[in-house]
């Protein structure tokens, strides 16, 4: 049997004594508690040895109580027991003046005397015969065994109440109900003893103490906002949130004073170290990278404290107010620079395209002139071949061209007067003659 079996049995026997006031069962209950103490101090014992210790200790305590500590039967000087005086009748043998004592005589000696002084009664309270039970409760001068009996009964009631209170306190301290999601660390005489799991647990009252109560569910730790300086001397504000779980309650309570504060400070210092190695733009755009490095950096330390870091999230990371104003000015200047560069690039591209257009136009004009010259040459050859040596067709063509030119001159706004040769044929003939002479 385990030690706590004896504790429960002893408490049950003590409570049974309150229901059956024999003042006998209680010693067997105390014997069971004694066996539980022996098991705790001496270690494992066989069932036979446990029953032997329980029986001998219970009988020894019972014998000591009834043989030594319990008051024996009170006897009078003539052998009359104190319990036999209850109910005896006395006779008033002397008149009693108001507020004066009288005498009462009994049929047989009571506690060694036949007559006892009668208490003083006020005037008009006649009392001839009275029972000794009433006398012991009303007459302060008469000390009979009834009063001696009431006193032990009052003391027994006080002892019963004290034992009941002690039993209730013992049960309250020994039976512990741990809720789901919690684990309790128990110390025995100031030293770690055991960890209580969820459910009903039994500990030794007055020796074991629940020193710590830990929550084994995921704990949310809010890391306060702090200023962090980046590698390019920019000041940013960053805060985070961590999700941790207690996996080893003993390390969590004995490895560090306050694991919540320790994890919070560790995250703050590690976050400053990681961000300090980055440029401002990189720090603002690399939340996932910072989160991964942060979790890896604190995982080893958390294991030493009996904790598991589930996740670390960056809640907010932003520049300080002064840095925000500087960044706004920088962004405005950058936009202006980009606008000027874009405008210059546009003008440059326009000039290049315009020059290329002129080049292409000139090239095409030259090709057109060459083609036109070739066409004119071909036309002249064909006209020459067609006309031959006869001047008539030549004159006809020249006259047609001449008339067309004169027509254009006449249509011009600047030409108001057009001079025509008097003899057109002679003019053309002379022109043809000149051309023929040159040929």
pLDDT tens for residues 240-287?
A: 999 999 999 999 999 888 999 999 999 999 999 998 888 888 888 888
Q: What is the mean pLDDT of residues 367-380?
A: 82
Most confident of 45-49, 107-111, 143-147, 345-349: 345-349
Go through the chain and tell me how many residues it has. Answer: 439
What pLDDT does residue 406 have? 72
The candidate with the shortest Cα–Cα distance to 92, out of 137, 144, 139, is 139
Q: What is the mean pLDDT of residues 303-329?
A: 84
Q: What is the C-alpha separation between 57 and 5, in angstroms, rounded?
A: 17
What pLDDT does residue 129 have? 38
Most confident of 81-90, 139-148, 196-205: 196-205
The average confidence (pLDDT) of the chain is: 76
DSSP, collapsed to helix, strand or coil, labels residue 142 as coil
What pLDDT does residue 182 have? 92
What pLDDT does residue 246 have? 92
Per-residue pLDDT band at 101 (split at 50, 70, 90): low
CA dihedral 61, 67, 69, 72 (to 10 degrees): 150
What pLDDT does residue 111 have? 59
Residue bearing the bigger pLDDT, 164 or 415: 164
- Tokens 């109900």 belong to residue: 177
Buried b (16+ CB within 10 A) or exposed e, 293-310: bbbebbeeebeebbbebe
pLDDT tens for residues 162-220?
A: 767 777 777 778 888 898 999 999 998 889 999 999 988 888 888 888 999 999 999 99
What pLDDT does residue 215 have? 92
C-alpha angle 303/307/312, rounded to 5°?
100
Per-residue pLDDT band at 22 (split at 50, 70, 90): low
Judge whether 54 and 1 are in contact, CB under 8 Å. no
Judge whether 267 and 254 are in contact, CB under 8 Å. no
Q: Which residues pair with 182 in a beta bridge?
A: 215
Judge whether 410 and 418 are in contact, CB under 8 Å. yes
Model's pTM, two decimal places?
Answer: 0.47
- Please check the confidence at residue 372 and state whether its pLDDT lies above 60: yes
What pLDDT does residue 140 have? 41
The candidate with the shortest Cα–Cα distance to 285, out of 241, 236, 336, 233, is 236
What pLDDT does residue 214 have? 92
Question: What percentage of the chain exceeds 70 in pLDDT?
Answer: 68
Per-residue pLDDT band at 74 (split at 50, 70, 90): very low
What pLDDT does residue 250 have? 92
Q: What is the C-alpha separation between 285 and 334, in angstroms, rounded?
A: 19
274-281 long-range CB contacts below 8 Å, 24 or more apart?
Answer: 275/228, 275/230, 275/236, 275/238, 275/317, 276/228, 276/229, 276/230, 276/231, 277/231, 278/230, 278/231, 279/230, 279/231, 279/232, 280/230, 280/232, 280/234, 280/236, 280/319, 280/323
DSSP, collapsed to helix, strand or coil, labels residue 39 as helix
């Amino acid at each position: 049997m385990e030690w706590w079996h004896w504790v429960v049995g002893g408490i049950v026997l003590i409570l049974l004594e309150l229901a059956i006031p024999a003042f006998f069962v209680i010693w067997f209950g105390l014997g069971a508690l004694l066996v539980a103490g022996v098991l705790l101090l001496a270690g494992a014992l066989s069932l036979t040895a446990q029953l032997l210790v329980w029986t001998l200790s219970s009988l020894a305590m019972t014998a000591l109580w009834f043989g030594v500590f319990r008051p024996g039967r009170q006897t009078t000087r003539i052998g009359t027991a104190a319990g036999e005086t209850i109910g005896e009748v006395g006779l008033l043998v002397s008149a009693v003046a108001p507020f004066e004592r009288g005498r009462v005589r009994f049929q047989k000696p009571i506690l060694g005397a036949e007559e006892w002084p009668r208490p003083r009664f006020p005037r008009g309270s006649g009392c001839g015969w009275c029972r000794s039970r009433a006398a012991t409760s009303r007459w302060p001068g008469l000390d009979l065994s009834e009063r001696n009996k009431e006193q032990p009964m009052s003391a027994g009631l006080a002892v019963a109440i004290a034992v009941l209170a002690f039993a209730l306190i013992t049960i309250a301290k020994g039976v512990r109900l741990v809720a789901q999601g919690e684990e309790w660390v128990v110390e025995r005489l100031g030293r770690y003893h055991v960890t209580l799991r969820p459910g009903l647990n039994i500990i030794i009252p007055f020796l074991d103490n629940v020193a710590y109560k830990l929550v084994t569910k995921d704990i949310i730790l809010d890391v306060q906002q702090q200023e962090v300086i980046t590698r390019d001397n920019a000041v940013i504000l960053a805060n985070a949130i961590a999700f941790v779980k207690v996996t080893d309650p003993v390390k969590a309570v004995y490895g560090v004073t306050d694991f919540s504060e320790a994890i919070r400070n560790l995250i703050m210092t590690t976050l400053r170290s990681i961000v300090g190695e980055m440029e401002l733009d990189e720090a603002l755009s690399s939340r996932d990278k910072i989160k991964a490095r942060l979790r890896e950096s604190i995982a080893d330390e958390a294991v030493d404290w009996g904790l598991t870091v589930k996740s670390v999230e960056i809640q907010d990371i932003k520049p300080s107010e002064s840095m925000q104003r500087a960044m706004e000015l920088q962004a405005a200047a950058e936009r202006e620079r980009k606008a000027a560069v874009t405008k210059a690039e546009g003008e440059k591209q326009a000039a290049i395209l315009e020059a290329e257009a002129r080049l292409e136009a000139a090239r095409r004009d030259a090709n057109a002139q060459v083609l036109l010259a070739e066409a004119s040459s071909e036309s002249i050859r064909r006209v020459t071949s067609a006309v031959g040596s006869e001047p008539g067709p030549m004159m006809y063509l020249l006259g047609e061209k001449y008339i067309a030119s004169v027509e254009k001159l006449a249509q011009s706004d600047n030409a108001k007067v057009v001079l025509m040769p008097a003899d057109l044929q002679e003019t053309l003939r002379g022109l043809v003659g000149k051309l023929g002479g040159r040929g």
